[in-house]
């Protein structure tokens, strides 16, 4: 059973290189947290915060 | 019906003794504990009835053979079919329930449970068969003495069969200890070993720091590490751990490759560390994950076997 990235949330628009997952550019840290939490709940996905501060929403590949 | 007509009083008390002992064998090997298998009361009751039927088949076989009714052997084949059916139905039942549990038991654990149920019916059958056989062969005139002999022989069969089929538990071959939870950013560590980086939000980090529980399982030998590394075995341990306490949120299991340790961390509903340790320690070692040194040393089919 693999995993897939559902959403990528970053504050740095230079990091967006295109690709499959939805990428959201949100500058405000507080808003980032709230958005990723809400999306995580709605999509029943796990939330990972990378060391660079970006968020990734990950779900099982069913 | 011919056979029934040839039964006399001595056969009747032998049969009753055999059936009672066989059913008692099933009762003695039927445990309802924290694992809740069989579930109580329905599955518990079903097992007693199955044990009674197994004991009846075992008890009837000897008097029927003695009356030269050789079709009695078909009783035993009927019993084997019935027990296999019981194993299959148990497997199907548990497999269907997999998605309703906090964590799945896994196919290996389900197979082990079903096989154990089947073997317990054979214990019932053998107990009844041997006790009736001993009573018949000795042919004592005194009924109380004959029954006493049957009880003793049945007791020996129960003891030997139970001892032979009884497996070991996690606590007997691994060291099980509580783990210290530490959250570093979105990463979760147990006893300084990485478990996951799924704690992406402040809420999840706070939840784990406040309410999380972790257990560390350490193999004592290389052979026991092979057992622990078996996926089915680890799944069974995770199942028992989370089933004992429930899962409020998250459940992680991780192997630490360098040390061979297995880490389990989750946020339980009941936060009881001792109960968690007890559940993990009492998890049975699955037959297909067990590595017996004595058997591993045997070279099958010659030197290069």
CA distance B201 to chain A (A): 7
**Strand, helix or coil at A13?**
helix
- Residues B128, B275, single domain; the answer is no
The pLDDT value given to residue B1: 46
pLDDT in tens, B229-239: 999 999 999 99
Looking only at the bridges linking them, the beta strands covering A22-25 and A3-10 are parallel
pLDDT digits 0-9 by tens, B170-192: 999 999 999 999 999 889 999 99
Query: Cis ω on the peptide bond leading into residue B38 (within 30° of 0)?
Result: yes
Task: Kindly state whether residues B126 and B238 are assigned to the same domain.
Answer: no
In whole angstroms, give the CA distance from residue B149 to residue B266.
54
Chain A hits for B186, Cβ within 8 Å? 47-50
Residue finishing a domain among B136, B166, B196: B166
Question: CB B200 to CB A48 under 8 A?
Answer: yes
Specify if B175 maps to a domain.
Answer: yes
CA distance from start to end of chain A = 7
Domain boundary residue, one of B166, B187, B222: B166
Is B300 inside a domain boundary? no
| Residues of chain A found within 8 Å of residue B202, distances taken between Cβ atoms | 33
Encode pLDDT of A18-59 as tens digits.
778 889 999 999 999 999 999 998 999 999 999 999 999 999
CA distance A29 to chain B (A): 11
| Confidence band of B300 (pLDDT split at 50, 70, 90) | low
Average pLDDT over every residue of B87-92: 92
Q: Which domain holds residue B111?
A: 2-166
Predicted ipTM beyond 0.85: no
Mean pLDDT of B282-301: 72
Q: Is A11 on the interface with B (CB under 8 A)?
A: no
Residues B51 and B77 in one domain: yes
The verdict on B175 and B151 lying in the same domain is no
Q: Does A37 touch chain B (CB under 8 A)?
A: yes
What percent of chain B has pLDDT above 90?
57
List CB contacts of B40: < 8 A, sequence separation 6 or more.
B32
pLDDT band (50, 70, 90) for residue B36: low
Does A43 lie at the interface with B, CB-CB under 8 angstroms? no
Number of domains in chain B: 2
The pLDDT of residue B133 is above 70: yes
H helix or E strand, kind and range, residue B285: none
pTM, whole model, 2 decimals? Answer: 0.84
Q: Radius of gyration of chain A from Cα atoms?
A: 11
Q: To the nearest whole angstrom, how far is the Cα of B237 from the nearest Cα of chain A? A: 20
My answer on whether B160 and B72 are in the same domain is yes
CA R_g for chain B: 25
Asked whether residue B267 falls in the same domain as residue B141, the answer is no
What long-range pairs does B207-212 form, CB within 8 A, spacing at least 24? B207/B248, B207/B249, B207/B250, B207/B267, B208/B181, B208/B183, B208/B250, B208/B265, B208/B267, B209/B181, B209/B183, B211/B248, B211/B267, B211/B268, B211/B271, B212/B181, B212/B188, B212/B250, B212/B265, B212/B266, B212/B267
């Amino acid at each position: 059973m693999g995993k897939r990235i559902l959403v990528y949330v970053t504050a740095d628009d230079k990091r967006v290189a295109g690709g499959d997952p939805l990428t959201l550019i949100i500058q405000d840290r507080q808003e980032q947290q709230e958005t990723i939490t809400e999306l995580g709940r709605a999509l029943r996905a796990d939330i990972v915060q990378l060391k660079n501060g970006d968020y990734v929403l990950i779900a099982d590949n069913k | 019906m011919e056979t029934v007509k040839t039964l006399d009083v001595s056969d009747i008390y032998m049969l009753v003794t055999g059936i009672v002992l066989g059913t008692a064998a099933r009762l003695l090997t039927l445990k309802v504990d924290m694992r809740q298998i069989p579930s109580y009361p329905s599955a518990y009751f079903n097992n007693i009835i199955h044990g009674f039927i197994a004991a009846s088949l075992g008890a009837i076989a000897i008097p029927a053979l003695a009356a030269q009714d050789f079709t009695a052997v078909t009783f035993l084949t009927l019993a084997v079919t019935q027990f296999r059916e019981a194993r299959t139905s148990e497997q199907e039942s548990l497999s269907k329930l997999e998605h309703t549990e906090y964590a799945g038991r896994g196919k290996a654990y389900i197979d082990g449970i079903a096989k154990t149920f089947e073997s317990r019916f054979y214990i019932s059958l053998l107990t009844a068969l041997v006790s009736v056989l001993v009573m018949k062969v000795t042919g004592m005139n005194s009924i109380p003495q004959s029954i006493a002999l049957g009880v003793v022989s049945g007791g020996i069969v129960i003891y030997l069969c139970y001892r032979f089929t009884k497996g070991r538990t996690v606590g007997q071959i691994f060291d099980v200890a509580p783990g210290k939870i530490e959250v570093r950013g979105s990463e979760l560590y147990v006893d300084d070993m990485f478990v996951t980086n799924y704690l992406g939000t402040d809420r999840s980090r706070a939840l784990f720091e406040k309410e999380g529980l972790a257990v560390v399982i350490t193999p004592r030998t290389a052979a026991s590490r092979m057992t622990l590394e078996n996926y089915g075995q680890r799944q069974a341990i995770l199942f028992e751990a989370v089933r004992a306490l429930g899962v409020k949120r998250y459940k992680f299991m991780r192997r630490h490759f360098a040390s061979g340790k297995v880490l389990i961390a989750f946020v339980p509903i009941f936060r009881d560390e001792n109960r968690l340790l007890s559940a993990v320690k009492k998890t049975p070692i699955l037959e297909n994950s067990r590595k017996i040194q004595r058997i591993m040393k045997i070279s099958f089919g010659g030197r290069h076997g």
